[in-house]
């Protein structure tokens, strides 16, 4: 399959164009010619020297990541930009990126993957970003206690040995859960306004402790990397169904 055709199919599935005005990431094909032939696709959360080198060693023609290399444009190909882009060019490896579109996709996205782990029902989009959504909310079939919610995520997520943190300030029974993966604690106010019992996200900020405590809501910090492996793995399954060879590159950061 030509790279351009594959990227177009991914863009259509992920509704990439809808996020153009709200995402700092240059989503879609970031590096490489659209005309190149793609037979083998590698998938990783981050585009970094390590994952690029491993994709090249695996013989991939295209690397698909959640976090790419181009944010608000590049003025100069020096320093870290050169270190990361040079091996792509040296190994003739293209790069496709999906940031917020892959967070917000309601079946393939990162938040949807976390909701699958928690077996949530009555799901709906959550986490507004302009006119788009970057998360999901749902209802637990059987209510969780706060430690049960934390322990379920710790058992199922690739945390790289990092403990799942819990701000245990909410009700005794957790039924309604909102999810914004990665650095999603900025949507705590929206979770409070929506009346959910817990917000699950990746990493926290200082303000969240006091706001959660004062509002009486649980916050679970399960790791930025750990909460964002689901989207690229779902894309791997999709691309494999399209008949291409795939490889997943796991490189947890512990953050």
- What tens digit of pLDDT does each residue of 89-116 get? 999 999 999 999 999 999 999 999 999 9
- The secondary structure of the chain as a DSSP string is -BHHHHHHHHHHHHTGGGGTTT-SB--EEEES-TTSB-SEEEEEEE-SHHHHHHHHHTT-SEEEEEE-S-BS--S---HHHHHHHHHHHHTT-EEEE-SHHHHH-TTTSHHHHHHHHTTEEEEEEEEEETTEEEEEEEEEEEEEPHHHHHHHHHHHS--TTPPPEEE--S-SSEEEEEE--SS-GGGHHHHHHHT-SEEEES---HHHHHHHHHHT-EEEE--TTGGGSHHHHHHHHHHHHTT-EEEE-------
pTM over 0.85: yes
- What tens digit of pLDDT does each residue of 143-164 get? 999 999 999 999 999 888 889 9
Average pLDDT, integer, range 113-140: 98
pLDDT band at 168 (very low <50, low <70, confident <90, very high): very high
Query: Cβ(166)–Cβ(220) under 8 Å?
Result: yes
Quick one: tokens of 132? 């788009």
């Amino acid at each position: 399959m030509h790279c351009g055709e594959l990227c177009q199919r991914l863009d259509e599935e992920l509704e990439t164009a809808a996020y153009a005005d709200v995402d700092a990431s240059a989503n879609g094909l970031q590096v490489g010619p659209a005309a190149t032939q793609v037979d083998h696709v590698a998938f990783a959360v981050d585009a970094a020297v390590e994952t690029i080198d491993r994709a090249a060693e695996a013989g991939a023609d295209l690397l698909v990541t959640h976090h790419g290399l181009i944010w608000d444009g590049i003025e100069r190909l020096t320093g870290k930009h050169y270190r990361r882009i040079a091996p792509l060019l040296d190994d003739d490896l293209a790069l496709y990126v999906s940031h917020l579109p892959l967070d917000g996709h309601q079946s393939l996205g990162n938040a949807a993957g976390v909701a699958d782990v928690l077996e949530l029902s009555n799901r709906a989009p959550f986490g507004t970003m302009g006119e788009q959504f970057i998360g999901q909310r749902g209802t637990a079939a059987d209510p969780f206690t706060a430690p049960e919610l934390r322990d379920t995520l710790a058992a199922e997520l690739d945390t790289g040995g990092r403990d799942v943190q819990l701000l245990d300030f909410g009700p005794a029974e957790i039924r309604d859960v909102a999810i914004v993966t990665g650095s999603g604690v900025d949507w705590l106010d929206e979770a409070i306004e929506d009346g959910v019992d817990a917000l699950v996200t990746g990493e926290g900020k200082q303000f969240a402790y006091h706001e959660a405590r004062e509002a009486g809501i649980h916050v679970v910090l399960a790791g930025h990397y750990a909460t964002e492996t689901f989207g690229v793995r779902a894309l791997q399954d999709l691309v494999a169904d399209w008949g291409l060879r795939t490889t997943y590159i796991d490189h947890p950061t512990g953050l």
